Amino acid sequence: MSKSKGNVIYPETLIDRYGLDATKYFLLREMPVSQDGVFSPEAFVERYNFDLCNDLSNLLNRTVSMVNKYFGGQVPKYNGQKNDVDKEFEDFTNSQIDKFEEKFEEYEIANALQEIWTLISRTNKYIDETMPWSLAKEDRNKEKLESCMYHLIESLRKIAILIKPFMDNTSENIFNQIGIKDEDLKKWKTLKQYDKIIDTKVISKGEPIFMRLNAEEEIEFIKNVMKK
């Protein structure tokens, strides 16, 4: 049931329309602990479209689609670091995990979430750097392509672990789409492990976990609720 009073919009309204995880993400990201926060319809829709849809949902969808296209859905085994990009990506990922844990332990939740999204952005950049569509054109690049797909799936596994305290449903959705069923691979202690995904298959058709909103329509909807 939607609830509002004056210019205040209650979380129930956002949850009903946009889901619990999206609502929690916005509130935690925009409203620091022990400080006042400002809500605006524009900021909410922007976070939803750019952070959740463009960055996270598209990363998952692209990765699952490529694993299906290039390897019939079967996640390749970890075969080490095939180039400098792989090494830098692994080092960067481990560094981001450390930064997240530092912020999380200090209850800096908004900053901790920022560290996760920095990793998400870096993973998207990894796709552009490795260009799997180009690697797939020649058999001699098969090992590099395998490494690329593994690193993408591995990064998504780590991202799912990192967001679980804040976005449990989204985390489980990611695990399901990339084929992670072993509960041990969903645990914090495995965050820095790189060779444990074995005999894993992604779902045959990836599904967007967040669909892009029509900005004008949704901003107007939220404004109307705030006026009631």
Amino acid at 65: S
Query: CA 218: distance to chain centroid?
Result: 22
**Diameter of the chain by CA atoms?**
64
Q: How many CA within 13 A on the CB side of residue 162?
A: 30
- Mind listing the domains of the chain with CATH numbers? 4-227 (1.10.730.10)
pLDDT of res. 206: 81
The model scores a pTM over 0.75: yes
**Burial label, 222 (beta-carbon count in 10 A; 0-12, 13-18, 19+):** buried
Contacts for 29 with CB less than 8 Å, ≥ 6 apart: 47, 51, 110, 113, 114
pLDDT digits (tens, 9 = 90+) for 89-148: 999 999 999 999 999 999 999 999 999 999 999 999 999 999 999 999 999 999 999 999
pLDDT digits (tens, 9 = 90+) for 66-83: 999 999 999 999 988 778
pLDDT digits (tens, 9 = 90+) for 164-183: 999 999 999 999 999 999 99
User: What is the full DSSP assignment across 44-84?
Assistant: HHHIIIIIIIIIIIHHHHHHHHHHHHHHTTBPPPP----SH
